[in-house]
Amino acid sequence: MENVFHIKHPVLQHLVTKLRDINTKGYFFRKYIGDIGIFLLKEALKDESLSKTSIDTWIGPGEFPVLEEEKYVFIPILRAGLPMLEGVSQIFPKAKAGFLALKRDENTLKSHLYYERVPNLTGHTAIILDPMVATGGSLDYALRVVKEKNPEKIISLNVIGAPQGLEKVSQNHRDVRIYIAQIDKGLNDRGFIIPGIGDAGDRAFNTD
Ligand code: PRP
């Protein structure tokens, strides 16, 4: 899994524990997911090359380093990816966003696509946002759809995953770098990450 980057940091562990806590609900659940998204975005772009921009400063004009915000296209997987978009948009308010909605069938555990609005990605870096990688079916599906849009590069930011799901995605998509805050033990017989954070979509939007 050399393209899976497990970012081990006390702040991330702290935030994941907040998510595991069943008393963390709705707004706060979304906030912590957004915070982790920001953290992972910074990690993922650690070696990104900067360009120069001319700006006026308080002591006159000058050239300074910038990232090309418009180059990034955030793609949250609905629903649970939406709070990650809220987080990362604070860093890059000028980035584009595309949307993919996938729902996992509770019995077969297979994902189906029910909405897609991803722009053409030629010359852009696609940044997929989804808190959970359980069987890996949803992320695998999302990556196949995103690749059809011809991105220059794809990064995936994920909060928590199971080893088998990450293994599957890593094998099928060697060209994608996956940044994740927590890798848990495995899955239960209903395909939930154990110990995990429960159903992130339901917990984020108070629907459980
Ligand atoms: C969850 C989660 C992932 C997917 C992970 O979404 O947000 O997209 O399951 O499972 P997988 O790796 O086994 O495919 P869900 O289908 O519950 O939809 P929701 O976000 O609307 O609740």
Is residue 135 within 8 A of residue 108, CB to CB? The reply is no
Instruction: Single out the catalytic residue among 30, 104, 125, 130.
Output: 104
Query: Which residue type occupies 179?
Result: Y
Is 166 close to ligand 1, i.e. is its CB under 6 Å away?
no
- Ligand 1 centroid – CA 1 distance (Å): 21
Supply the residue whose CA is at minimum distance from atom 13 of ligand 1: 135
* Closest C-alpha to 84, from 74, 98, 92, 99: 74
**Residue 200 Cβ < 6 Å to ligand 1:** yes
What is the residue with the minimal CA distance to atom 3 of ligand 1?
132
Backbone angles phi, psi at 197, to 5 degrees: -130, 15
pLDDT in tens, the chain (208 residues): 899 999 999 999 999 999 999 999 999 999 999 999 999 999 999 999 999 999 999 999 999 999 999 999 999 999 999 999 999 999 999 999 999 999 999 899 999 999 999 999 999 999 999 999 999 999 999 999 999 999 999 999 999 999 999 999 999 999 999 999 999 999 999 999 999 999 999 999 999 7
Residue 143 CB less than 6 A away from ligand 1: no
Take residue 159 and report the two structure tokens written for it. Answer: 């909060």
Distance 192 CA to ligand 1 centre (A): 9
Evaluated on CA atoms 70, 71, 75, 80, the torsion sign reads negative
Atom of ligand 1 nearest to the CA of 80: 20
- H or E stretch covering 153: strand 153-161
**Is 24 designated active site?**
no
Class of domain 4-49+67-205: alpha beta
3-state helix/strand/coil string of 41-84: HHHHCCCCCCEEEEEEECCEEEEEEECCHHHEEEEEEECCCHHH
Q: Is the shortest distance between the CB of 138 and ligand 1 below 6 Å? A: yes
Cβ of 194: how many Cβ atoms within 10 Å? 11
- Residue extents of the structural domains in the chain: 4-49+67-205
Verify whether ligand 1 is closer than 6 Å to residue 159 (CB atom).
no
